Amino acid sequence: MTNDRSIQAKKLLNDRFGFENFRAGQEEAISSVLEERHALVMLPTGTGKTLCYQLPSYLLGGSTVIISPLLSLMEDQVEKMKSSGEKSVVALNSFLSYSEKQTILRNLSAYKFIFVSPEMLQQQGMIDQLKKIDLSLLVIDEAHCISQWGMDFRADYLKLGKVRHELNNPLTLALTATAVEQVRKDILSVLNISSEVDQIIYPVDRPSIQLRVAESVGDKKDQLLQAVSEFKGPGIVYFSSKKLADEMAELLRSQLGIPCESYHSDLDKEDKRKIQSQFLSDTLPVICATSAFGMGIDKPDIRFIIHYHLPGSPEMYLQEIGRCSRDRKGGVALLLYENGDEAIQMRLQENTLPDRDELVYAYRHADKLESLKDDTKINISRHFIEQSIPFEQAAEIVERYQTHKSVQLSTMVDYARRKGCKRDVLLDYFAEKPEVRRNGCCSGCSRTLSLPYDPVEWPNFLQNSEDLWQDKLKFLFNLQS
């Protein structure tokens, strides 16, 4: 990055985004983009990956297209950008009516930031409209979805190499928080940027987060009540079950007397926004949620993350606990583990991957797939058929993927059961070693752990929120006074 561009970038960082300094990895990523070099950026959850494309977009000119896999995340990002004063931003997804979509497409060049789902990019009309605009930067958010070995493989993401080619191979920025080396290789290969790319890879470890595992023997509810009572401050409790999230939110309200709500995909859009707003403003200190909550929630002072159920992979676990202690002032990640908890994840895996019989049916009745329920099994089978992958090769790919998912789950079981250092288990999976160990490190390293932050008593916490919620909202959304 030239000296002039560096000065411009730092001025923009302060004037538009309200920060005095870049976080680790941000300046390197922005420099690559401004030098018009493709980049694969892996930064830990909570380190501000969105800035890596938002800031340079203002200096590049033209439009930036951001491909995002989750509609809720896309909507959150658009709303946040609008709240911070950026009006030329739009999301193209299934939430739009036909007339709304057509109006946006006719005026697409007027938008600086265009968020789009990978599914929308399979429509030739969408590609034709994007080819007409001055596309300065193509951003692939959650880029690990490209790889069959990633945390959240999406068949539509595998088609992004073709999409990129149709858009005349624009400058490309791929972003992820958790990707092992094989996943990173897949990302570069699918996007066809392997030979001319800057890889900006930072460790996944978050030393300010203390790792704890509590073994349960039919007493998880009591352990949850005790933990929330001890940890205090803002926190999220994750569940694999929507029903249990509802029940535990009611239990925390009734037993501890604290404001607490559940959050999952059954809530309507308005209720989701209300809960998010209350959590950000500290009027709602605890959320009981499924994995639907947390993406795009940039709250710096979340103090604890509790998992009531065992996550399916180290990638997912690190991403979810990474929402804690973004201000680096300390946090706790607690996993409540009972022997046999892994059975839940095994059932979930069975429901997302086609078995051999289902693949046989798909290949024999490819013409009927369009009329079947749109789920992961159908999407994966359809992808194999559309790519003319022979049946036996497709079956082998699924078998390898199932094996990999088993390795991911086994790593999490090892993490839960390991008597030694818990952090080492997670970092070994990513072929990393801890650079520092703080706050006692984990429950495997220290038998007695104190909180790595100063807890705020619930009454004081709630009283403070009445005084500070307006200032916090301004800070979180970069609003001008």
Spell out the SS3 assignment of the chain.
Answer: CCHHHHHHHHHHHHHCCCCCCCCCCHHHHHHHHHCCCEEEEECCCCCCCCHHHHHHHHHHCCEEEEECCCHHHHHHHHHHHHHCCCCCEEEECCCCCHHHHHHHHHCHHHCCEEEECCCHHHCHHHHHHHCCCCEEEEEECCHHHHCCCCCCCCHHHHHHHHHHHHCCCCCEEEEECCCCHHHHHHHHHHHCCCCCEEEEECCCCCCCEEEEEEEECCCHHHHHHHHHHHHCCCEEEECCCHHHHHHHHHHHHHHHCCCEEEECCCCCHHHHHHHHHHHHCCCCCEEEECCCCCCCCCCCCCCEEEECCCCCCHHHHHHHHCCCCCCCCCEEEEEEEECCCHHHHHHHHHCCCCCHHHHHHHHHCHHHHHHCCCCHHHHHHHHHHHCCCCHHHHHHHHHHHHHHHHHHHHHHHHHHHCCCCHHHHHHHHCCCCCCCCCCCCECCCCCCCCCCCCCCCHHHHHHHHHHHHHHHHHHHCCCCC
Q: Looking at the chain, which residues constitute the CATH 3.40.50.300 domain(s)?
A: 3-201, 209-342+410-476
Cα–Cα distance, 467 to 243 (Å, whole number)? 34
What are the structure tokens assigned to 403, written together?
Answer: 């094996």
Residue 79: per-residue pLDDT: 84
Of residues 172 and 180, more confidently modeled: 172
In contact, 282 and 465? CB cutoff 8 Å: yes
What are the structure tokens assigned to 145, written together?
Answer: 């979805």
Percent above pLDDT 70 for the chain: 92
Residue 451: per-residue pLDDT: 95
pLDDT of 455 over the 60 cut: yes
Q: Is 246 left (phi over 0), alpha (psi -120 to 50) or beta?
A: alpha
In contact, 32 and 53? CB cutoff 8 Å: no
Cα–Cα distance, 11 to 232 (Å, whole number)? 38
Q: What is the mean pLDDT of the chain?
A: 88
Of residues 350 and 296, more confidently modeled: 350
Give the CA-trace dihedral at 124, 128, 130, 132, to 10 degrees.
180
What count of Cα atoms within 13 Å lies in the side-chain half-sphere of residue 326?
A: 23
Residue 379: per-residue pLDDT: 80
Of residues 386 and 8, more confidently modeled: 8
In DSSP terms, 42 is beta-bridged to 176, 201
Confidence of residue 149 (pLDDT cuts 50, 70, 90): low
Homologous superfamily assigned to 209-342+410-476? P-loop containing nucleotide triphosphate hydrolases (3.40.50.300)
pLDDT tens profile 208-221: 999 999 999 999 99
pTM of the model: 0.85
Q: If you average pLDDT over residues 173-199, what whole number do you get? A: 91
Residue 75: per-residue pLDDT: 80
Residue 347: per-residue pLDDT: 87
pLDDT of 479 over the 70 cut: no
Residue 463: per-residue pLDDT: 53
In contact, 444 and 418? CB cutoff 8 Å: yes
pLDDT tens profile 28-60: 999 999 999 999 999 988 788 999 999 999 999
Residue 395: per-residue pLDDT: 92
* Sign for the pseudo-dihedral over CA of 15, 62, 202, 334: positive
Cα–Cα distance, 410 to 92 (Å, whole number)? 38
Q: If you average pLDDT over residues 290-319, what whole number do you get? A: 89
Is the domain 3-201 a CATH 1.20.1300.10 member? no
Cα–Cα distance, 295 to 316 (Å, whole number)? 12
Cα–Cα distance, 139 to 41 (Å, whole number)? 11
Residue 471: per-residue pLDDT: 47
**255-290 burial: b if 16+ Cβ within 10 Å, else e:** eeebbbbbbbeebeeeebeebbebbbbbebbbbbbb
pLDDT of 319 over the 80 cut: yes
What are the structure tokens assigned to 59, written together?
Answer: 């200096």
pLDDT tens profile 85-118: 999 999 998 778 889 889 999 999 999 999 998 8
pLDDT of 475 over the 50 cut: no
Give the CA-trace dihedral at 79, 71, 236, 302, to 10 degrees.
-40
- C-beta neighbour count of 98 within 10 angstroms: 7
Confidence of residue 195 (pLDDT cuts 50, 70, 90): confident
pLDDT tens profile 238-285: 999 999 999 999 999 999 999 999 999 899 878 988 898 899 888 999
In contact, 306 and 241? CB cutoff 8 Å: no
In contact, 55 and 13? CB cutoff 8 Å: yes
Confidence of residue 382 (pLDDT cuts 50, 70, 90): confident
Cα–Cα distance, 144 to 140 (Å, whole number)? 9
Q: What is the separation of C-alpha 167 from the centre of its chain, rounded to a whole number of angstroms?
A: 26
Residue 461: per-residue pLDDT: 59
Q: If you average pLDDT over residues 438-448, what whole number do you get? A: 92
Residue 275: per-residue pLDDT: 92
Residue 114: per-residue pLDDT: 97
pLDDT of 456 over the 60 cut: yes
Cα–Cα distance, 72 to 269 (Å, whole number)? 9
